[in-house]
Amino acid sequence: MTDNNLISVMLDKCDIYYEDALISKESIIERYIEFFDNVFAGEKHSVNFALHTGSICFDIISVVAVTLGCLSYNLWTNDDIISRLQIGDMVMYENKRYRWKGLEDGNGIKYMVLGQDAKGKNGESIRKVSFKRYKHLVKPYYGTSSLTDGRGVRKSKTNREEFLSHIFDIPIADVPSLINVAVVIVSNRGDFSEICKHLSIVYGEKNRIGLLDIVPAAYYTGQEEIQFGTNPTKAAPVLKIAGKMSVARDLVLDKYGNKVVGLLVNGIHSLAENSSELDDLLRRKSLRFVHITSLLNVDTSDRILDMYEEANIFACTKGYLSKSTGEIKCANPFTVELEKQIDNIVNNTVSSILVPGGWTWDEYRRIKDTLLLIKQSNWISEQKNEFILSAYGLLNLLTTSVFSMHQMENLVTNLKIGATVLSPKERIDKLWDIADKASVVEELCITVINDIEEKYYEFMDQSPKALAIKEYLAKHSGKIAIVVPKAYYAEMLVMTGVLKDNDASVICVTANRFDAAHEYESILVVGDISGKKFNPLQCHSAKNIDTLLYECENKSFGYRKKKKDKSEKRLNSKICGIRYSEENSEDLYADKEEEITVQKFSDLEEYIEKLNVLDIGRFIESGLVSNSNSPTSEVKHVGVFVTGERIFFSKYYTAVVFDYEAGSVTEKAVDKLLPGDFLVFTRRDDYTKNIVDFIYEKLLDTGKLGTKVIEASEKAEYWKDALRRYKTQGDYTYSDIAKKMRRAGSSLQEATIRLWLVEDSHIVGPRDIETMGYIARVTQDRKILSDIVGYFEACRVVRRERRTILDLIGKAINNKLSGHIPQEGSVLEVVYNNVDNLSETLELEDIIELHESTNVNINLVNKPITEAEVLM
């Protein structure tokens, strides 16, 4: 089917449900479905962007549309599939395995001949079925089993052929049993799993089918392939899901298996992140389509308009959505939420509440200009950056504080708030110490300190913004979110009596922890602040968003507001097909001096952000890189803790994160870490292990886990050792092993093999038994060959025990905080003692992805370090 309205015609024949809720009949969703006609129109490579409200409905429609669109590119017919079968090949028919015996004519009818091996005294059985009537039911089998029966096959009768016949308007016998194309989807594994679980399509006379009944799908970690749902024939996945852009790129470039014809990126946060990999994929003409979805925001829309002029754009701007308002057609939680989001965008107001006090614009500008002069000076000292960082931090504190300095000093002194929060007075005193040694810029330093100290004493007994919050809460009701820059602000607001500890109607959250899925009557922001998850100018979680601003903040906030308005006008011009002209638009930047000043300060902020993370350039110059004699590890991310320590994260490290609110511990990949996460470390020198590995080994050594777990652990290590030996003895590369695995029937990538075998990998073992079978066949290891099931089950046992240890670490940390001591001799006691004596928990302040990976001395990775440790 190559119709110009391909998708809308197909989806007009069915209804899309999520959790039994009809979502495809809403006006804006119908317009989004029509947009997909552009995605699949014509024969050329198409690039498409959808900037939406944040509703899950858009993600669901995107998945359905690209799945059906992908199927339209399938070139194989059932005749092609049958003609490729070789005598003796394993095939599936009616949920049983057979050997293909070829085609045979009889009485003018062509038959397919299927055989099953002899059983006991019975000889081989032969079955003949009509080629014309049943060719769509014979499917090649790609699994590891050599048994010709139904054992091990999950019985699953689907209406796949009937559905595709209905949608594509073709006879059932012509629906291909095998698909030779695929689409790569970049999505969080959990999010996609939920879509698979709850999505259903209703067609014809109320017939219903799920996504995984139509096509097979798998998730790729770069380490392994994890199947979604059942796949009796072990056919190559048509939907290839990846959590990382780098893994998606590998899947697109992979020549093995189904040809990848399209890419869907669901819910990208920033086009700037992974920009080189994404730009490369957007340019690949081998992809028939690339479709990227994102929450509507200024940075993304500006980048699209600047860099992808020929792209098709669907954007939920205020102007576009004003045409979609009206009654909900099918009321359910998802459509009600969607309509609420539309209402919030169309009727959104972002208001500035000017607060008396604080710095004037001239005073604020003078301080920042002076910091810029210090930055540009020839003052050569480690204390130069320390001065700029500390002064800038105090500047932000005094601009956004919602408590008096006396209150803060008192709570810090009495250890009532986090131990990582420092006394403002001590920080100011430290600035004076640095200024005494600042030589050529001493006067500039004194100017900055004087201004900061004056405001510190002005705010000693009262904070103007604390009074403003009290007045705001007195005038507003309903569910309110207060957005603050640091987590300890929430503690301070409760301890100082501005907020009530048990008031569920008011929540306090940092900009980096804001959850856009929650809805509020109003949102109050305590200053000109934003974060990775929140921007007051682009938030749709409430109609009314108010910001508390001193005069100095109002200038920069006003500039960002003008920029946002200009971006929306450009976007509206693009989606309406009207040429945007700067001359015909309002003069948004009449005050050029203001624009230059704000940009200059933005450069200072970028400099500060870089200072917050260890200067990788200086580190490389220190000689502790790949050309040194010391072993190194590949580093892609660098973080900084609120205590000032830095951390180099090795590429495959898994961090242990403690959630104080839930009292639980989880493991996170480095690229999933966020500012505000509390990371748990052991005080030790082994960079390859996290605290879970460390405690697991302790429990094994002390015999606390039992014989079964000890045996399972040995097997979970053995399969890796066997594969490493095979690689070393054969002098094979990771690519060589991946090719051998593929010849055995696997679809694993080179990156998967590498991640299994690298030293700092935390992979326990394959998640499907077939892969363990491939490992056994490739290595020809006798132990694994004779007990494939046993080795697979051993990996499951070890994974389960590791999850248990995560839970116990959470309990141990909670016990430590509350003073409870676990029962003597218990497993929890071992965990508690290790957590108590060998662990430290640090809050991540920032994490930055490096433009290029770099090799770092292994003694400096995956642990908190000071700058002195690196450069000593």
Same domain for 456 and 481?
yes
Give the end of a domain, one of 94, 123, 157: 157
Give per-residue pLDDT as tens, 491-540: 889 888 888 877 888 999 888 778 887 889 999 999 999 877 789 998 88
Least confident of 30-34, 427-431, 668-672: 668-672
How distant is the alpha carbon of residue 185 from its chain centre? Answer: 13
Tell me how many domains the chain contains: 3
Residue 488's SS3 state is: helix
User: What pLDDT is recorded for position 331?
Assistant: 92
Same domain for 490 and 505?
yes
For residue 627, pLDDT beyond 50: no
Give the end of a domain, one of 528, 552, 576: 552
- The CA distance from 25 to 613, in Å, is 49
The residue to which tokens 């210090």 are assigned: 374
Query: Is residue 680 included in any domain, yes or no?
Result: no
Give per-residue pLDDT as tens, 707-731: 888 899 999 999 999 999 999 999 9
Grade residue 626 by pLDDT with cuts at 50, 70 and 90: very low
- What ranges in 653-705 are assigned the alpha helix state H? 691-701
Q: Which helix (H) or strand (E) holds 276?
A: helix 275-283
**Average pLDDT in the chain:** 82
Grade residue 422 by pLDDT with cuts at 50, 70 and 90: confident
User: What pLDDT is recorded for position 823?
Assistant: 65
Residue 331's SS3 state is: coil
Query: Is residue 699 included in any domain, yes or no?
Result: no
In Å, what is the CA distance from 13 to each residue of 24, 29, 203? Answer: 11, 15, 6
**Sheet containing 14-18, strands listed edge to edge, beginning at the edge strand earlier in sequence:** 21-22, 14-18, 199-203, 207-210
Query: Is residue 708 included in any domain, yes or no?
Result: no
User: What pLDDT is recorded for position 277?
Assistant: 80
- The CA distance from 654 to 116, in Å, is 47
User: What pLDDT is recorded for position 585?
Assistant: 47
Same domain for 187 and 258?
yes
The residue to which tokens 């490739």 are assigned: 778
Q: Which two tokens stand for residue 628?
A: 């040194």
Residue-range definition of the domain harbouring residue 198: 6-74+179-305+328-345
Query: Is residue 442 included in any domain, yes or no?
Result: yes
User: What pLDDT is recorded for position 688?
Assistant: 46
Give the end of a domain, one of 517, 552, 587: 552
In Å, what is the CA distance from 118 to each residue of 98, 103, 140? Answer: 12, 21, 21
Burial of 357 (0-12, 13-18, 19+ CB in 10 A): middle
**CATH code of the domain containing 216:** 3.40.50
- The CA distance from 11 to 114, in Å, is 37
Query: Is residue 422 included in any domain, yes or no?
Result: yes
**CATH code of the domain containing 140:** 2.40.10
- The CA distance from 46 to 69, in Å, is 13
Between these two residues, 748 and 389, which has the higher pLDDT value? 389
Write the CB contacts of 744 (distance below 8 Å, at least 6 apart in sequence). Answer: 774, 777, 778
- The CA distance from 574 to 585, in Å, is 14
Least confident of 404-413, 705-714, 851-860: 851-860
User: What pLDDT is recorded for position 416?
Assistant: 77
Closest CA to 523 of 355, 353, 399, 660: 353
User: What pLDDT is recorded for position 660?
Assistant: 65
Query: Is residue 259 included in any domain, yes or no?
Result: yes
DSSP string, 74-120: ----HHHHHHTPPTT-EEEETTEEEEEEEEEEETTEEEEEEEE--BT
Same domain for 107 and 211?
no
For residue 584, pLDDT beyond 80: no
For residue 450, pLDDT beyond 50: yes
For residue 77, pLDDT beyond 80: no
Q: Which two tokens stand for residue 479?
A: 């569910």
- The CA distance from 759 to 581, in Å, is 56
Query: Is residue 169 included in any domain, yes or no?
Result: no
Same domain for 388 and 414?
yes
Least confident of 149-153, 214-218, 552-556, 565-569: 149-153
Same domain for 126 and 267?
no
Give per-residue pLDDT as tens, 365-381: 999 999 999 988 888 87
- The CA distance from 455 to 359, in Å, is 8
| Beta carbons of 149 and 120 less than 8 angstroms apart | no
Q: Which helix (H) or strand (E) holds 545?
A: strand 544-549
Average of per-residue pLDDT across 643-655? 81
Grade residue 866 by pLDDT with cuts at 50, 70 and 90: low
Between these two residues, 43 and 91, which has the higher pLDDT value? 91
378 secondary structure, DSSP code: -
Give per-residue pLDDT as tens, 770-817: 889 999 999 999 999 999 999 999 999 998 888 787 777 766 765 665
Average of per-residue pLDDT across 87-95? 84
Between these two residues, 687 and 133, which has the higher pLDDT value? 133
Same domain for 125 and 247?
no
Same domain for 43 and 131?
no
How many other CB atoms are there within 10 angstroms of residue 41's CB atom?
17
Grade residue 41 by pLDDT with cuts at 50, 70 and 90: confident
- The CA distance from 515 to 612, in Å, is 25
**Sheet containing 109-116, strands listed edge to edge, beginning at the edge strand earlier in sequence:** 125-130, 109-116, 96-106, 90-93, 139-140
User: What pLDDT is recorded for position 647?
Assistant: 87
Grade residue 661 by pLDDT with cuts at 50, 70 and 90: low
- The CA distance from 845 to 641, in Å, is 5
Query: Is residue 603 included in any domain, yes or no?
Result: no
Same domain for 215 and 126?
no
Grade residue 60 by pLDDT with cuts at 50, 70 and 90: very high
- Measured between its terminal Cα atoms, the distance across the chain in Å is 66
Same domain for 134 and 14?
no
Give per-residue pLDDT as tens, 819-833: 566 666 666 666 666
Same domain for 379 and 480?
yes
Same domain for 219 and 368?
no
The residue to which tokens 């919050």 are assigned: 469
Q: Which two tokens stand for residue 733?
A: 């590369």
Which pTM was predicted?
A: 0.68
For residue 415, pLDDT beyond 60: yes
